[in-house]
Amino acid sequence: MPGPFSGVPIGEALASAQIALEGAGVDTPRLDAEILLAHALGIDRTRLMLERDTPVEGPAIRAFQIAVRRRSVERVPVAYLTGTKGFRRLELEVDPRVLIPRPDTEALVEWAVRGLPPGARVVDVGTGSGAIALALKDERPDLEVLATDVSGAALAVAEANARRLGLEVTFAEGDLLAGLDAGAVLSNPPYVETGAALAPEIAQHEPPRALFAGSDGLDVHRRLVAAIRASGARLAGLEVGAGQAAAVRALWAGEGSPWETDVGRDLAGTERVVSAWRP
Ligand code: GLN
């Protein structure tokens, strides 16, 4: 059964979808329409412009219509509709079992790629899709990379990404360090204040366990810093939410603490990475 976009040129299909998405209050209607149509057609987004007069036909129309509807009505994030998200040099497979990797988190990987000593053994706590661990192994193959998650469902996604990308990372299911020993610890733990108002894409579709961490958003950071301090690790890099850096640095301080800390910013200029080390 032909739908409203049937036989319509790519340029027009994009324009109608853009209007539908804009009307639904989606932030980036043009970009989302392009990504979803390119995905439905199985072509690169950059090719859409060259093909703007080519009619959209067949199953691609149905797939595009369904995706635009789910994006506008259900507010499903684009990455869950296409099933992939770019992170550093990798294309990761994602689905609602895992948080969608954010560009902000690339700052933590950048810090680790530049700063970790050669051959270090490093663990990514709460790996989700595996983004941090896999990007790190990809860019620093000299490192021994481990990753944990409390969610077995998330670990299945991370393990599938590791296999598909041919990256050697060791995964363990469990809370925080899950009993692993490492010289360095990286983490993008949940740090959103419980009850905070979030965009429908996040609130209705992403895993709450990957987002919320108590009334000030620091419940997991408190437990994680304590676990790292009690372990043999000498170096840590933790992602923080906007405005949380000072409070997370304070978790490392205190009478006679051997730990020193610093803060790094993401590409948007927001304080994003609290690093800590001890001699
Ligand atoms: N950066 C995510 C957001 O803005 C939060 C990720 C996290 O809690 N670690 O929703």
Interval 174-221: pLDDT, tens: 999 999 999 999 999 999 999 999 999 999 999 999 999 999 999 999
Which ligand 1 atom sits closest to the C-alpha of 211?
Answer: 8
Which ligand 1 atom sits closest to the C-alpha of 217?
Answer: 8
Domain range 98-277, CATH class: alpha beta
Q: Is 239 helix (H, G, I), strand (E, B) or coil?
A: strand
Q: How far is the CA of 188 from the centre of ligand 1 (A)?
A: 8
Q: What is the pLDDT of residue 1?
A: 45
Q: What is the pLDDT of residue 3?
A: 53
Placement of tokens 């579709």 in the chain: 205
Q: How far is the CA of 13 from the centre of ligand 1 (A)?
A: 33
What is the distance between the alpha carbons of residues 217 and 162, in angstroms, rounded to a whole number? 30
Q: How far is the CA of 203 from the centre of ligand 1 (A)?
A: 11
Give the CA count within 13 Å in the CB-facing half-sphere of 224: 33
Evaluate whether 223 touches 233 at the Cβ level (below 8 Å): no
- Contacts of range 93-96, beta carbons closer than 8 Å, 24 or more positions apart: 93/129, 93/157, 93/160, 93/161, 93/164, 94/129, 94/157, 95/157, 96/205, 96/206, 96/207
pTM score, two decimals? Answer: 0.95
